[in-house]
């Protein structure tokens, strides 16, 4: 079974731009969660999508948004990029039942200049 895939793997943007990251979950999984990982703050939860609906949301500003498609693939968007948005963005998929194991993808490394 193929794992979680994320595209692109690396991205360089400048302040003020926007960016869209993509995540394809494990086949059959219906829940996709997004996390931001930085050296200073560690891994922080952004949001979770299940059946095309946002089910949980972390404490991030509205510039961070996401969506999920009918095939469970998910995208997250960051608008008006700031230098502090430079991070590894990780996607995790699970079956969708609460407390089920989450499997992480390799991440997208975003650098904002």
Partner 1 sequence: QKEVEQDPGPLSVPEGAIVSLNCTYSNSAFQYFMWYRQYSRKGPELLMYTYSSGNKEDGRFTAQVDKSSKYISLFIRDSQPSDSATYLCAMNNNAGNMLTFGGGTRLMVKP
- Which residues sit at the interface with partner 1, rule CB under 8 A? 4, 31, 33, 35, 42-45, 48, 55-56, 58, 90, 94, 98-107, 109
- Shortest CB 48 distance to partner 1, Å: 5
- Shortest CB 46 distance to partner 1, Å: 10
Between residues 13 and 55, which has the closer beta carbon with respect to partner 1?
Answer: 55
Alpha-carbon span 112 to 8, nearest angstrom: 15
- Which of 74, 44, 37 shows the shortest CA–CA distance to 58? 44
H helix and E strand count, the chain: 0, 11
- Shortest CB 96 distance to partner 1, Å: 9
Alpha-carbon span 1 to 4, nearest angstrom: 10
Between residues 35 and 81, which has the closer beta carbon with respect to partner 1?
Answer: 35
- Shortest CB 107 distance to partner 1, Å: 5
Between residues 41 and 80, which has the closer beta carbon with respect to partner 1?
Answer: 41
Alpha-carbon span 56 to 58, nearest angstrom: 7
Alpha-carbon span 19 to 13, nearest angstrom: 8
């Amino acid at each position: 079974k193929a794992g979680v895939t994320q595209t692109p793997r690396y991205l360089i943007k400048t302040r003020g731009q926007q960016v869209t990251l993509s995540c394809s979950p494990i086949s059959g999984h219906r829940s996709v969660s997004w996390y931001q990982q930085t050296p200073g703050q560690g891994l922080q939860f952004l949001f979770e999508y299940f059946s095309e609906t946002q089910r949980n949301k972390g404490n991030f500003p509205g510039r961070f948004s996401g969506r999920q498609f009918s095939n469970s693939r998910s995208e997250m968007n960051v608008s008006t990029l700031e230098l502090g948005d430079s991070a590894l963005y990780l996607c995790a998929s699970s079956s969708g039942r609460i407390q089920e194991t989450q499997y992480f993808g390799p991440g997208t490394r975003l650098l904002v200049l």
